[in-house]
Amino acid sequence: MKVAFITLSVEGAEVVKKAMKRFKGAHAYIHEKADANICAQRFERVTQLTEEIFNDYDGLVYVAPTGAVIRALAPMIKSKISDPAVVVLDVGARYAVSLLSGHEGGANDLSFAVANAVGAQPVISTTTEAVKDIIIGIGCRKGKEKEKIIEAINIAIDKGGVAMEQVRTLVSADVKIDETGLLDAAKELGLPIQFISSTQIRSLGGSFKTGELVEKSVNLPAVAEPAALLACTRATLILNKLNLDGITAAIAKEELI
């Protein structure tokens, strides 16, 4: 996916700089008045820039106020089939909002990728994804094969009494962001995967059963249970951590309004 990052501010430029470490080959566009130390093309007006690059990229990531982004996009929008995926990040890197071409255009997937890159929460509002209420937390030893991870996920789903169609996302700790088996398992299952920051996991507290291996290998009290809870709001664990040959799996269910 050919991606461009656009921001109007110095604060946004810092977010872009962090995100682009995980988006090799992406292009950056920074407002000419933002005195930022980053290699980027400068622009004067975001509306004019959007018009110029709208059809040049598969994905546009704005680190800017949503209102400004909508005004810039409005004259260009044609179809969810042909428009690029658009994600909006706040300058605090708290939320990565799938704004345009969410499902068909790939903005939902892009929002997860951007969120994982900067430690944000992906925000998905398309009905087919938003109504799913099951989150599966996964931890694993380094080098675990995707087949073993998928097997563990299926066991957890069976024991939790839920269906794969209810699962919104897999989730793990940020120390596993490059774990090939996890990434390949999510891809084969057709599910997004979110990575929660270790700082958030440590600060959650709670009475999670600590595994000695987890503490030694990734310096965390637990992974599967806290990650599952932190990936959603109004969450309840419906399946406590299973230990499955070097893989842990837990299930959280989100209460939908």
pLDDT, position 250: 97
The pLDDT, as a whole number, for residue 214 is: 58
Q: What is the overall mean pLDDT for the chain?
A: 93
pLDDT at 39: 87
Q: Which CATH class is domain 131-254?
A: alpha beta
- Tens of pLDDT, residue by residue over 186-239, are 999 999 999 999 999 888 877 676 665 554 566 788 899 999 999 988 989 999
Where does the chain hold its CATH 3.30.420.180 domain(s)? 131-254
Give the pLDDT score at 217: 61
Which position has the token pair 């440590």? 202
Judge whether 210 and 222 are in contact, CB under 8 Å. Answer: yes
Locate 217 and state its tokens.
């290998």
Q: What is the pLDDT of residues 87-138, one digit of tens each?
A: 999 999 999 999 999 888 899 999 999 999 999 999 999 998 989 999 999 9
- Can you say whether residue 205 is alpha, beta or left, with left for phi > 0 and alpha for psi between -120 and 50 degrees? left
Query: Per the structure block, which two tokens stand in for 149?
Result: 């991870």
Considering the domain 3-128 in this protein, what is its CATH number?
3.40.50.11220
Which two structure tokens, joined as six digits, stand for 89?
């990040």
Residue 87 host element (H or E): strand 85-89
* Number of CB atoms found within 10 A of residue 128's CB: 10
Residue 213 is predicted with a pLDDT of 52
Indicate where the chain has its CATH 3.40.50.11220 domain(s).
3-128
pTM beyond 0.75: yes
